Amino acid sequence: MGKIVCFPSLSTKQQQRILDAAPGYTLTVGKAKEIDASELKEAEIVVGWSPLVTEHVLKENSPLKWVQVWSAGVDNLPFSDLEQKGIMLTSANGVHAIPITEIILGMMLSHSRWLRQAMLYQQQAEWKSPGKPLPELHGKTAVIVGVGEIGSETARILKVLGMNVIGVRRSGKDVPNVDQMYTMSGLHEALSQGDYVINILPLTDETHHIYNQTAFEHFKSGSCFVNVGRGPCVNTEALLGALDSGQIAFAALDVFEEEPLPADHRLWGKDNVLITPHIAGSTEQYTERALDIFIQNLESYVAGKKLPLNLVNYSHKY
Of 17, 113, 208, 278, catalytic? 278
- Is 278 considered catalytic here? yes
Q: State the helix-helix crossing angle for 97-112 and 115-123, rounded to 10 degrees.
A: 70
Catalytic one among 189, 206, 259, 288? 259
138 assigned to active site:
no
Q: What is the DSSP letter of 234?
A: B
Omega of the bond prior to 260 within 30 degrees of 0, cis?
A: yes
Within 10 Å of residue 29's Cβ, how many Cβ atoms?
20
Q: Is 21 helix (H, G, I), strand (E, B) or coil?
A: helix
| Cα separations in angstroms, 31 against 18, 21, 37, 96 | 17, 22, 12, 23
Q: Residue type at 55?
A: E
Is residue 170 part of the annotated active site? The answer reads no
Cα–Cα nearest to 252, from 226, 219, 213, 287: 226
Q: Any idea which residues carry the catalytic annotation?
A: 230, 259, 278
